[in-house]
Chain A
Amino acid sequence: MFGNIILLTILYAIPMMMVALGGVFAERSGVINLGLEGGMIFGAFIGAIVCKAVIEGSKVDGGGYALASNQGVFILGMFVSMLAGAIFSLLLSFSAINLKADQTIGGTALNLLAPAIVLTFGLLIPSIRSDKVDSHASFSLGGENYLSTYICLALFIGLSIWLYKSKIGMHLRACGEHPSAADSVGINVYKMRYLGTTISGALAGLGGFVYIFTRVSGIAESSVAGLGFLSLAIMIFGNWNPVLIALGALLFGFLKVLGVVANSTFLEALNLPGYFYNMLPYIIVIVTLVLSRNNSGVPKAEGIPYDKGAR
């Protein structure tokens, strides 16, 4: 029982962790990426289409598949979903960095655009909506054990260290704190913000893909269901710090699992529905924000378009 809960918690935590780290990359570079949810949906959708196409393409006349292993397809899907999320986030970068538009509006637009695109083409191409690719069992290494967990963990640790220890990572963070100071020492603020937002889009796409293929068996349209916003909450809860974010993701993942299994454990006596556990993370975030308002790690220049001419 408990082993199962821990496994499920990790499965929920991994995608949220990746998306929250994506949020950190965008905000540390000075762009608020509210479009994380949209990036997840879009990345998951494109990743699923490609996986499906590859598997269908390998169909042998007799009815079997020529592919020796699904794991290669899974890795390809992860890569494609990252690419798709990155490209999708360019829309936000363009409006927020080049045109200096309101970043909140841009992100909201992306969140509405992604499900609209997915629904439109999902209905136009019925074959991608129901097939083997959707069932998550086909990519499993056995039980609830997935290759993606290890890849994501490695990526998370690598990117976090890169953000804090490398030269480019420091430049990127400088752009979120004081862009004109960064500019004065020769850092290209626009480039750094593009980099941050693109990485955040890629991580969102990856998170979405991993989530729908490990936790939900279905196409992305409504499966993501607010997980992008929950990841945003984790980012705030973790005070824009990767280590705290990993812990926050585990905590919130545990709450999500609790919502599913609560009534088969000792919590049954409380007789609280899954809804209660679902809204608990959001309440925790609000309380955290109120309590930590004085030593918040929020990047100083986030949300403010950088204008080279401004004094």
Chain B
Amino acid sequence: MKKSNLEVSENKQKEVKKVVKEVNEVKPVVNEIKEVKENDIHEKKTFKEVMGNCVAKTKEFFVGFPKNTKEFFVNLPHNSKEFVKSIPNKKGFNSVASSLISILVGIFIGFLFMVFAIVFQKTASPFRGLGFVFGGPFGSSNVGYELGNMLFKTVPLIFTGLSVGIAYKTGLFNIGAPGQFLMGTMGALLVALSINTTGNRFAGVMVWLLALVVAIAFAILWALIPGFLKAQFGINEVIICIMTNWIAANLVSWVYSSLPNLKNPAVGKGGFLIKTNVTGNFTPKIGLDKLFSSRNGSFLSDLDISILIAIVVGILLWVLMNKTTLGYSLKACGYNRNAAKYAGINEKLNIMIAMGIAGALAGLGGAFYYLNPGQEMIINTSATLPNYGFNGIPAALLANSNPIGIIFTSLFIRYIESGSLNLTKAGYNQNIGSIIIAIIIYLAGFSRFFSERLDDIKKFFANKKKEQEGKLLTTEGQVKQNNTNKGGK
């Protein structure tokens, strides 16, 4: 007891000393400030004086420069530590970190698969394979061309990612994106392929716009089936979405096969529809394809303005979700449907609005992909659903459904897939990329687990820090350090 009392009094003495010291240091600074203020108010400086002052200040700066920079670098570790410490407190850090963990672990498991594949393919080299996966389009000999195609193929992914993301924010799992994608494609192609505007570019663009509108209408109607059933009867939207996917796959094939005019007449192309460049209603390219082409310009990539539209739509959706009443009421439904209802939000209407927006986005993705003059739609899709619809799920999950984040995660996913196209050079095939993405989706489901572990780690370090600080405060060294820091400033 006595000892601790002594310690306390010693500490108090030290603190008093510290305060006195600080006051002494602060006094001249305050006086200076006072003088400066008075000068500013009462004296009108001449131009020469101002310039002189300027020169003097610059001189001071340069003279003090080595010292200042030294101080900066001495303080840097401390400052950066503070900075790093401040990040985990920010809200998005955990989700970004857990996405990064998912991605890295996913790629690592893909690598393990490549190692395992040596059993069957003696010539395969997993390290080269890993290099190709990381290299994306840059592993190709035709970088510009591959980069352009990668950007173009990102477009449908951004749209389906946004579709899944918006629904997810509203508490709905839109696994129906493939079906909406197909319906949008059908709407767009029915318009774009049945009206011939070859030669008249203006009419072509007008029909193109009409095709987009019809695509949106078809896809919204399709998405409203699960949306309506969920809102009105509370039926699980996942089940209905899966059913509507397969209905769409068969319906679309049925419609295409019953329209012989749209069939590609070329030999060996009987299973496909004609391309949009035949009828002239394709997406404008405004030279982007020439910008991203092979080195000598002989191969133009498929890139068109849809990538710009996709980015703009992503930003607009971010504004919608974060800056508007509608966005907030959608999110409120996602957090707690009953609470939202209690707060006076029409939760049924909101579910339908969210599904409608989600459908429109997925449909636009399909429309933009197949309105490109280089793509052709297969007639019989009844046995397979488009991968773009499903890959929207990892794009949305990795970005934590943030619309702007989805743009980047979509680019990332396409980057990996584009890189895996080169895997044949390392003795594999492109499906390794699909494995990696499937594993990333699987891991993205763990985001809660990852962020909980991150919290644990943070707590552990915070506790350790507290203990250390508790020890340091009682030593004189800490007090001195504090004083020197303040003196420096």
Contacts and interface: CB of A to CB of B under 8 A. Distances in A.
Given A95-B446, A275-B382, A278-B382, A113 B435 contact: yes
Interface string A221-246: 01001100110110010000000000
Interface in B431-486: 431-432, 434-435, 437-439, 441-442, 444-446, 448-449
Contacts of B244: 282, 286
B235 interface: yes
Interface stretch (A6-14, A54-62, A99-107): A99-107
Contacts of B441: 105, 108-109, 112
A277 to B, nearest CB: 9
Contact of A106 (B121, B254, B432, B442): B442
A285 interface: yes
Given A108-B175, A282-B243, A290 B113 contact: no
A119 B434 contact: yes
B247 interface: yes
A151 to B, nearest CB: 28
A275 B438 contact: no
A125 interface: yes
Contact of A91 (B247, B435, B442): B442
A142 B329 CA distance: 63
Interface string A144-165: 0000000000000000000000
B270 interface: no
A117 B382 CA distance: 22
Contact of A276 (B113, B234, B250, B385): B250
Interface string B247-266: 10111011001100000000
Interface string A102-132: 1011101111110111011101110000000
B229 interface: yes
Contact of A233 (B243, B251, B446): B243
Interface string B384-409: 11000010010001000000000000
A299 B226 CA distance: 21
Interface residues of B, number: 50
A279 B254 CA distance: 10
Residue of B173, B238, B253 ringed by the most chain A CB atoms within 10 A: B238
A117 B433 CA distance: 10
Contacts of A290: 229, 233, 235
A34 interface: yes
B435 A116 contact: yes
B429 interface: yes
B239 interface: yes
Given A105-B393, A109-B439, A275-B254, A124 B428 contact: yes
B120 interface: yes
A112 B243 contact: no
Interface in B366-424: 382-385, 390, 393, 397
Interface residues of A, number: 47
A32 B448 CA distance: 19
Residue of B175, B235, B239, B383 ringed by the most chain A CB atoms within 10 A: B239
B117 A100 contact: no
Given A101-B449, A108-B393, A222 B383 contact: yes
Contacts of A111: 390
B449 A100 contact: yes
A149 B233 CA distance: 39
B84 to A, nearest CB: 27
A117 B238 contact: no
Residue of A119, A124, A225, A229 ringed by the most chain B CB atoms within 10 A: A124
B102 to A, nearest CB: 11
A119 B382 contact: no
Given A100-B448, A106-B445, A275 B235 contact: no
A236 B449 contact: no
A260 B441 CA distance: 36
A119 B431 contact: yes
A283 interface: yes
B252 to A, nearest CB: 9
B246 A282 contact: yes
A109 B438 contact: yes
B390 A112 contact: yes
Residue of B173, B251, B442 ringed by the most chain A CB atoms within 10 A: B442
A14 B170 CA distance: 39
B240 interface: yes
A111 B439 CA distance: 11
A119 B430 CA distance: 9
Interface in A278-293: 278-279, 282-283, 285-286, 289-290, 293
A182 B390 CA distance: 36
Contact of A116 (B239, B438, B445): B438
A101 B257 CA distance: 42
A297 interface: no
Nearest to B234: A293
Contacts of B243: 233, 282-283, 285-286
A72 interface: no
B174 to A, nearest CB: 11
A222 B238 CA distance: 23
Contacts of B203: none
A275 B250 contact: yes
Contacts of A222: 383-384
B247 A101 contact: no
B254 A273 contact: yes
Contacts of A282: 243-244, 246-247
Given A124-B120, A275-B257, A286-B240, A226 B246 contact: yes
Nearest to A119: B431
A293 B234 CA distance: 8
B305 interface: no
B242 interface: yes
Contacts of A115: 434
Interface in B201-259: 225, 229, 233-235, 238-240, 242-247, 249-251, 253-254, 257-258
Given A273-B254, A275-B251, 4 more contacts: A34-B242, A226-B385, A285-B243, A289-B240
17 contacts: A99-B449, A116-B431, A117-B113, A120-B435, A121-B120, A123-B431, A124-B429, A222-B383, A226-B249, A230-B246, A273-B257, A273-B258, A275-B382, A278-B250, A282-B243, A282-B246, A282-B247
Give the 10 A-B residue pairs with the shortest CB-CB distance, closest first: A109-B442, A116-B434, A113-B438, A101-B445, A105-B445, A279-B250, A112-B438, A275-B254, A109-B441, A225-B383
Interface of A: 32, 34, 91, 95, 99-102, 104-106, 108-113, 115-117, 119-121, 123-125, 222, 225-226, 229-230, 232-233, 236, 273-276, 278-279, 282-283, 285-286, 289-290, 293
